[in-house]
Amino acid sequence: MIARPVLAANWKMNLGPHEARAFIAAFAARSPEQRGTTVIICPPDVSLDAARDAVSGRADIHLGAQNIFWEDKGAYTGETSAPLARATGAEFVLVGHSERRHVFGETDEETGRKCVAAARAGLTPILCVGETLAEREAGETERVVLRQLHAGLRGLTPAQVAGSLVAYEPVWAIGTGRTATPDDASTTHRALRAAVGGVLGAADRDVPILYGGSVNTANAAALLAAPGVDGLLVGGASLDPVSWASIVAAGAARAAHR
């Protein structure tokens, strides 16, 4: 079973190979190897290889891709397949990140195909779900995230669902400086966990569910302490090795109290 809390960094379209190497060296120097946590860094594809070299020897630091295409190979210019991401050192992949859904128009159906492709290649999908501000204000949070959850996971076998991760990332909280309160995160995580049990046929409800959306060094500990929050997915604050090391330290402190 994956050690939790899980601390996942999404670098988005930042940090090329040289910067990735320098970041990981600086982070690793500040953050001693942890047994009770899982650290996942998702660099841009072009930096995966350099990041793989940089993390070698650190069993607690894993790599993820930020996106994949659902076909394994072929004439799909500009895309990265799951086997290619795997070959470049990724063990995880973000699927359905809000920027994929809302900037690039990725549909629920496409997230489902990507999760299937990821699992087929031995990549662990981190399925991202989250409501927009308008959906939240209309009282539709649960309906939206459960729809996204089902669409993303329904093509997987129960064992593959059990091996996946989910990230609840309210769209209005990503990169905005607004975070869900720990109580709000817990409420939505509870609904997601119950639904994962449904998708799985109640075989295993223990899929890690991460929270993401303007997490920083000041709010990480409170969010990690919220019931049902198994980890964090962090964008902006993961781009600085000092603040990322501090968020990972909050995760290690949380692990020590479990």
256 is written with which tokens? 């020590």
d(CA 129, CA 173): 12
Check if 169 is active-site: yes
Residues 6+ apart with CB under 8 A from 143: none
Q: Which of 62, 97, 99, 106 is catalytic?
A: 97
Beta carbon of residue 248, minimum distance to ligand PEP (angstroms, whole number): 14
162 burial type by CB count under 10 A (0-12 exposed, 13-18 middle, 19+ buried)? middle
Q: Which is nearer to ligand PEP, 175 or 227 (CB)?
A: 175
- The footprint of ligand PEP on residues 7-66 (CB under 6 A) is 10, 12
Q: Residues 90 to 109: which contact ligand PEP by CB under 6 A?
A: 97
Which string of x and - marks every residue 218-237 that binds ligand PEP (by CB under 6 A)? Answer: ---------------xxxxx
Residue 102: active-site member: no
Q: How many CB atoms lie within 10 A of CB 88?
A: 18
Selected binder of ligand PEP within 169, 189, 210, 247 (CB under 6 A): 169
Min separation Cβ 232 and ligand PEP, Å: 8
Question: In DSSP terms, which residues pair with 186 in a beta bridge?
Answer: none
Would you say 8 or 119 has its CB closer to ligand PEP?
Answer: 8
- Does 252 engage in binding with ligand PEP (CB under 6 A)? no
Q: Is 174 near ligand PEP (CB under 6 A)?
A: yes
Q: Phi first, then psi: what are they for 69, rounded to 5°?
A: -95, 160
Contact assessment for residue 64 and residue 93, using Cβ atoms and an 8 Å cutoff: yes
| CB closest to ligand PEP, residue no | 235
Q: Structure tokens of 100? A: 């994929």
Query: Could you tell me how many residues make up the chain?
Result: 258
Rg (C-alpha) for the chain, rounded Å, is 17
Q: Where in the sequence numbering do the catalytic residues fall? A: 97, 169
Q: Binding residues for ligand PEP, per CB under 6 A?
A: 10, 12, 97, 169, 174-175, 212-215, 233-237
